[in-house]
Amino acid sequence: LTPQDLAGETVLVTAGPTREEIDPVRFISNYSSGKMGFALARMARLRGARVILVSGPSALATPPGVERVDVVSADEMRDVVLARWEQVSIAIKAAAVADYRPARRSARKMKKEGREDLSLELEKNPDILAELGRLKGTRFLVGFAAETCDLLENARKKLQAKNLDLMVANDVTQERAGFDVDTNIVRLLQPDGTEEALPEMTKDEVARHILDRILALRRLA
């Protein structure tokens, strides 16, 4: 029997990519499938939490008992997360939010006739996690860092800049880790400098380790 050690908690998980529309038929996005975030939602629910899963476009089935809210863009994800924020005690941001979006969305499909090249002007999306870090209060806030170089240095910077309680550092260049696979290889970084490198394991197992660590750190706080 799974221990109900998250009973009484409301866990908000973000998952999947965001899509930033260029025109009615095109968008900017990334390779996130939602698997990591859905695993976290499933495991938190199995351990007794109320779980709100805010997901970008993903083909995955909703884990049983999980309240799912589908969003498309970073802006929508931000609105949904902030609207639920009052109810949340633990937030885990596994979503791969697009950092930029087209500065203008074309209402009609952009045509190629008479154009040999095309430049898109991009503007920055809101950094949802940084905003949550400012609104944290007594909540426990977990971020992910998807990196392709200088993993620990970059992940540590984000941990501090976004006022997180735990950072999951993910080198997405490693095989069987990162985007759209069932396994992951991550390091858990704490604000006090402590670090744990987890071996390759399924995303369900990674989720279990993250939840164990959250509970252990909360007990210390």
Closer Cβ to ligand PMT, 97 or 189, answer by number: 97
Cα(87)–Cα(81) distance, integer angstroms: 10
Residues 6+ away with beta carbon under 8 Å from 46: 2
Shortest distance in whole angstroms from residue 182 CB to ligand PMT? 8
- What is the C-alpha to C-alpha distance for residues 12 and 6, in angstroms, rounded to an integer? 12
What are the residues binding ligand PMT (CB under 6 A)? 16, 32-36, 74, 93-97, 99, 125, 127-129, 143-146, 158, 170, 172, 178-180
Closer to ligand PMT at the Cβ: 48 or 79?
79
Comparing CB distances to ligand PMT, the nearer of 49 and 166 is: 166
CB of 158 to ligand PMT, least distance (A): 5
Q: From the annotation, which residues make up the binding site for CTP?
A: 99, 109, 126-129, 144, 158, 162
Residue 30 annotated in active site: yes
Give me the active site residues, please. 30
